[in-house]
Structure 1
């Protein structure tokens, strides 16, 4: 739930711009400023000093329209040495009053839209490219009564080179130096079909994703697929997001290990099980707490599980219990996130957490307060 207020700007200058164009064209500035307070149960030094509080992220974007063409863009700056990076950048135009086409670095239509969860952290599937993922290609969106259909083709992954893990969206990446056949796969020629039907406050739907896997060492093309079925919406007073999904990566590694594939995001590379089932169950309840500076309070619990095929691979879990408090454009999350074999949660070996496991198999927990102002 991210609220945006828009600031209209007239294009200066010009006898060339008619009054009709000035009335229809716009430039909107969007963005957010976020700060975090965090305490991790596996970080003794942090606990001893009472946690860490500071800058988390600045996000700036432009939404603009000139004549029949629109642009949507967002760029992000992070803390703790994480790279600055583009989030998305695409051009769009309407085909008719119910349909549009987007071209550029646009959102991959897979699974629960637009976001799969309520917390700042998200879940493991964010780091596997199945949630809040953006790739370079073309997408067609149409709304026919209660049915939403999205069809997309992506020539490649994120805007970065396939060897560069400094990206927002998690994608298959190769290592920067001397990749083995196992580490040398990248996405190529991906197609997506997403359909969702509104039953009156409750959306049901499914997604299909097909992709090539080009191996830079063997120079052969493997393949991958992912499917998902989901519900998203209100069941009485309870907000529900539920999803079951299956994916398989079948790389052409030339006899090398094919039980894992290598992913990258935020400058980190890590292994992911090549075949697995994914499950999501998120529940939320709006509390009757309003007044003063508080506009709304949402109580929620987000749960996800990665069930891996390979023998000896430990399953991965993430659970977040929290409150989201809205005060105008300021949203404050109070989250307790626990993970087992979860990426970046705990002090185990993160690079294998989503594959064999993190060599610990323990649950770790962190408490996080995030304050974010969105405009």
Structure 2
């Protein structure tokens, strides 16, 4: 019998697995901490992380696990999703993945991120499904998220032991929709102009009723392949309408990450601007320096609440597998950059607010 009668079997694809990670240490000196100034700052452990990428029979996996000190939330999953590619231009992701809102992957160049991160709108990760289509000139993403980084099920308060900021306390994010579209302009597609929309519910544990929340943003980024300049501009607004119990109609919600909660105004606009310049260096030890400045202004739309600012001036030093951030971070009503934690992003400290500075060096070995 002729062998041509039998269909040729395609060789089965081999499983693919790539492992990596990082170890980071941190030095900081904060102007509002007198004891730290007397010690000359603190130098200690930041994070140990593991990354895994895998593929088998067309199904991909991307996961990142982080282990901070107990005071910063301990160990948790930063991201983890399954992916299937329909084509070179379209894919679907299911699991804990980045929310398509605003400039991605980061609306910043520094180690501290920008103001958008601290109210849950930069590098946010939630549990759901996302579809991405990218044809070169156009990219659009549509996503549905059942919940935020849900590590405690049922009516328990959401845990603040997480990577990205979400609503916590007596409210739980649920049933969120996101849509983002980006148009690339110019011969080199270096200009990216985009619009992002977000809407969802907010379940109150006490009243067992759903409130609403929504946000929108316009954003622009310039990043050419052979240009040393990177420019990021974004303007956004958000509104949160919780269903508090009678007599408890507060103008803020709790948000949490890294093991601690603080209060954030229910309504506001955030304007951010960032610029960085890459200096190539060809030495045995150092391969490049990125000098940057990122500014964020938080306009709280609640009567009596004082607005907030942050500005980070610094440089990223690339030395082989090491990335070293040196930042001078200035904050005005910013919980990580000043003495007021609980209400810095809510009421603030009207009449008694000053600018504060934290000098920070973060050194990481990436493998």
TM-score, length basis structure 1: 0.88
Question: Aligned partners of 1:303 and 1:290: how far apart in 2?
Answer: 30
1:257 aligns with 2:246: no
For the 8 Å contact 2:114–2:272, the answer to whether it is kept is no
Structure 1: runs of 5 or more not aligned:
1-17, 175-183
RMSD of Structure 2 on Structure 1 (CA): 1.7
Deviations for 1:121-160, whole angstroms, at most 9, x for unmatched residues? 1133212110111110000011123111110000111122
Question: Aligned partners of 2:195 and 2:366: how far apart in 1?
Answer: 30
Deviations for 1:48-92, whole angstroms, at most 9, x for unmatched residues? 122111221111121100111011111111136222111011101
For the 8 Å contact 2:280–2:287, the answer to whether it is kept is no
Shift of 1:344: 2.1
Deviations for 1:88-125, whole angstroms, at most 9, x for unmatched residues? 11101112221111001111110000111111111332
For the 8 Å contact 1:302–1:321, the answer to whether it is kept is yes
Q: Give runs of ≥4 in structure 1 deviating > 4 Å.
A: none
1:41 maps to: 31
Residue range with higher mean Cα deviation, 156-165 or 90-99: 156-165
Which residue, out of 70, 95, 102, partners 2:93?
Answer: 102
Question: Aligned partners of 2:184 and 2:158: how far apart in 1?
Answer: 40
1:212 maps to: 201
Which residue, out of 109, 117, 120, partners 1:126?
Answer: 117
1:305 aligns with 2:297: yes
2:276 maps to: 284
1:177 maps to: none
1:28 maps to: 18
Shift of 1:358: 4.2
Shift of 1:324: 0.9
Residue range with higher mean Cα deviation, 253-262 or 96-105: 253-262
For the 8 Å contact 1:284–1:301, the answer to whether it is kept is yes
1:150 aligns with 2:141: yes
2:163 maps to: 168
Aligned length: 346
Structure 2: runs of 5 or more not aligned:
1-9
Deviations for 1:338-366, whole angstroms, at most 9, x for unmatched residues? 10100222222x11110001464111101
1:116 maps to: 107
TM-score, length basis structure 2: 0.90
